[in-house]
Amino acid sequence: MTITASDVNKLRQQTGAGMMDCKNALVEANGDFEMAVDILRKKGQKIAAKRGDNEAKEGVILAQASPDAKFGVILTLNCETDFVAKNDGYVNLVQSLLDLALAKIPASLDDLKNLAYDDKLSVSEKITEQIGVIGEKLDLSSYAVLKAERVVAYNHPGNRLATLVGFNSNSDAVKEAGRQVAMQVAAMDPIAITKEGVDAKTIERELEVGKDLAIQEGKPTEMAEKIAQGRLNKFFQENTLLSQQFISDNKLTVGQFLTNSEKGLTVTEFKRFSLS
């Protein structure tokens, strides 16, 4: 059977595979388009099995809020090399997954993987297909959804870091203030909104380290405990969002900046994904 250029191009448009891969698949399938798609998918499965132990530490992270800003999603699709991560086609693939997540709001990462990507493939199957196209291990490794009165998304240049921040107000004041706080979360990596959100294990560890340091400095035990408490308070100031110095004006904390923007304005939740 004669394989035409239009047949090859049609298969390439659907799968993203290279021209020769598409032509070879159509030849093997004797021109059967659906069988050729399956051949390319099986190629992806073979490559996935072969590269299963490889590390996929590069990738793309994207975050986006809904048009009404009432919710947002953030996800990570890992690959093996930054060469692939910087490719426009790869970024577009991640954006298509983000668009799907934003439309369907799956409750978990597994739910996202099980969503229908199109009328033939699930998200998980689409990623396997793209493993065959790209030739690297791909891993949809993290996903989160955030809901609030207003959600602001921030994507740092390079697509290796993104944040979602939820606020308790949807006023005009939140639009600009929200973006600045989303950038604060990206830059300063807080562990909680306030000290009340810091888990007991972290607090215990900081107190223990602070006390040990004070004793090593020659302080008596009673004084060491007070010094450790002081160091814990400093830890809270540096690592909880509302107590951090505001990066755009270090005379203010983030909490003070929000109050100045709108009385009662605060952060209800945030998500931060980063490639280490």
**Per this entry, what is the length of the chain?**
276
| For residues 167-190, average pLDDT | 95
Local confidence band at 204 (pLDDT 50, 70, 90 cut-offs): very high
Which has more confidence, 217 or 112?
A: 112
Amino acid at 46: K
pLDDT of residue 1: 65
Model confidence over 252-270: pLDDT tens digits?
Answer: 999 999 999 999 999 999 9
By CB atoms closer than 10 A (0-12, 13-18, 19+), residue 71 is: middle
Answer yes or no: is pLDDT of 53 > 70. Answer: no
To the nearest whole number, what is the mean pLDDT of the chain?
91
Q: Per-residue pLDDT for 2 more than 80?
A: no
Region 181-206: mean pLDDT is 96
- Tens digit of pLDDT for each residue in 99-127? 999 999 999 999 999 999 998 889 999 99
Domains annotated for the chain, with CATH where assigned, are 5-50 (1.10.8.10), 53-147 (3.30.479.20)
Rounded to 5 degrees, what are φ and ψ at 172? Answer: -60, -30
Pick the residue with more confidence: 19 or 139? Answer: 139
What's the pLDDT tens digit per position in 151-165? 999 999 999 999 999
- Determine the pLDDT at residue 219: 85
> Which has the higher per-residue pLDDT, 25 or 272?
272
The mean pLDDT value for 137-142 works out to: 94
Describe the crossing of helices 33-50 and 19-28 by its angle, rounded to 10 degrees.
120
pLDDT at 30: 84
Torsion of CA 182, 241, 98, 17, to 10 degrees: 90
Question: Mean per-residue pLDDT for 75-91?
Answer: 95
Residue 20: pLDDT over 90: no
* Confidence bin at 87 (pLDDT 50/70/90): very high
> pTM value?
0.81
Instruction: Find the range with the poorest average confidence among 53-57, 125-129, 134-138, 248-252.
Output: 53-57
CA 260/CA 240 separation, integer angstroms = 19
Q: Is the pLDDT of residue 48 over 70?
A: no
Categorize the per-residue pLDDT at 46 as very low, low, confident or very high, splitting at 50, 70 and 90: low
pLDDT for residue 134? 84
In this structure, are residues 75 and 143 in contact, taking their beta carbons and an 8 Å threshold?
A: yes
According to DSSP, residue 122 is labeled B
Q: What is the rounded average pLDDT of the residues 196-221?
A: 91
Predicted confidence (pLDDT) at residue 88 exceeds the cutoff of 90: yes
